[in-house]
Amino acid sequence: MLLKYLMVSCTAVVLGLGVAPPSEAAGNTSAAQSSSKKKVAKATQSKRIKQASIKKASRKSVAAAPRAPHEPDFDALGLPNVKSASVLVQDQISGEVLFERNSDAVVPIASITKLMTGLIVVEAGLDMNEMLTVTDDDVDYVKHSSSRLKVGASLTRAQMLHIALMSSENRAASALGRHFPGGLTSFVEAMNAKALQLGMTDTRYVDSSGLSSQNVSTARDLAKLVMVAHQQPLLRQYSTDPKSVVSTTNGRPMHFSNTNHFVANPAWDIGLQKTGFINEAGRCLVMQAMIQGRAVIMVFLDAKGKNGRTSDVGRMRKWIESIQPAMATTSTM
């Protein structure tokens, strides 16, 4: 090493160049590396500051953007500005139709189907403490809808009915139909027979869950179903409970919530309700409620948007509260 340094030094002397000793050369290298790191760090910091400025400017731009105009609760004629494709609102006591729109249109009804499922179960007088087990036959292989009940899970018939009405549990509704005397085929036949008995002439059921778009009805027919189902205390309780905890025979306790958040709102007095949704049906809702001391039945089918049925119910309530009984018969096409 020393010999190599002496040779380099001699060469440097001949050429008139200065050569740093090994320790100084290493120091220069270290200093260069340190300077390079500082430059990289400074560039990175500058980039981060620039990105932060862009994000801040973007947030200000979004905040400054004008909001969409608020949708009025009533239209130019003073009627509720509801967006559901089919609507029927009826006085439960007198039967007077307060508001309707396309109330005779035959459309898919999704999980509103489960209200008829519940009516068949309670009217059959079956043992509500009998254990029912979820099988592969209850799994939805068509729409691949989710369920918290695993194959092999067992609940009482009462628990299955409870979460089918409250949380719209599809496998529970399917299990209720399968465990009917004669199986699911006989259960669906009973559903259709009951529909005819109630005068629901435009209604047809093909399953107990509502997953098939071939479960169809009209707003007018469903108002008849709500009227009759409301007479069953168990259906009133199970459909309006805000929450429930159930324990299967092979799992831990499961917490279920109501699909209709209005039932937990103290400002509402709801006696019966059922929600529904599949793509073909849109968002649907049927309810019995007390508004301004008046018992009303409301049916909303194919509401527009995720919060469409919620908005429609709110606007309808405001309209009912604003009218006098004698003014309350309205039809819109």
95, 327 contact by CB (below 8 A): no
For residue 253, being part of any structural domain is answered with yes
* Domain-embedded: residue 33: no
- Catalytic member of 84, 167, 168, 311: 168
Active site includes 168? yes
The residue with tokens 């010999």 is 3
Is 38 inside any structural domain?
A: no
What ranges in 198-242 are assigned the alpha helix state H?
A: 219-229, 233-240
List pLDDT tens digits, range 175-201: 999 999 999 999 999 999 999 999 999
Q: For the CA atoms of the chain, what is the radius of gyration?
A: 34
In a domain, 302, yes or no: yes
Is 111 designated active site? yes
Positions of E strands within 238-318? 243-247, 253-257, 270-278, 282-291, 294-303
* Any domain includes 39: no
CATH for 313? 3.40.710.10
Active site residue 55: no
C-alpha to C-alpha distance for 295 and 270, rounded to whole angstroms? 10
283: in domain: yes
pLDDT recorded at residue 51: 59
Number of domains the chain is built from: 1
Classify residue 199: in a domain, yes or no. Answer: yes
Segments forming the whole domain that contains residue 165 = 86-332
Is 178 inside any structural domain?
Answer: yes
pLDDT in tens, 4-40: 443 444 344 334 444 444 444 444 444 445 555 555 5
114, 194, 224, 274: the catalytic one is: 114
What SS3 state is found at 199? coil
Kindly report, residue by residue over 156-173, the tens digit of the pLDDT: 999 999 999 999 999 999
Q: Which of 86, 111, 174, 208 is catalytic?
A: 111
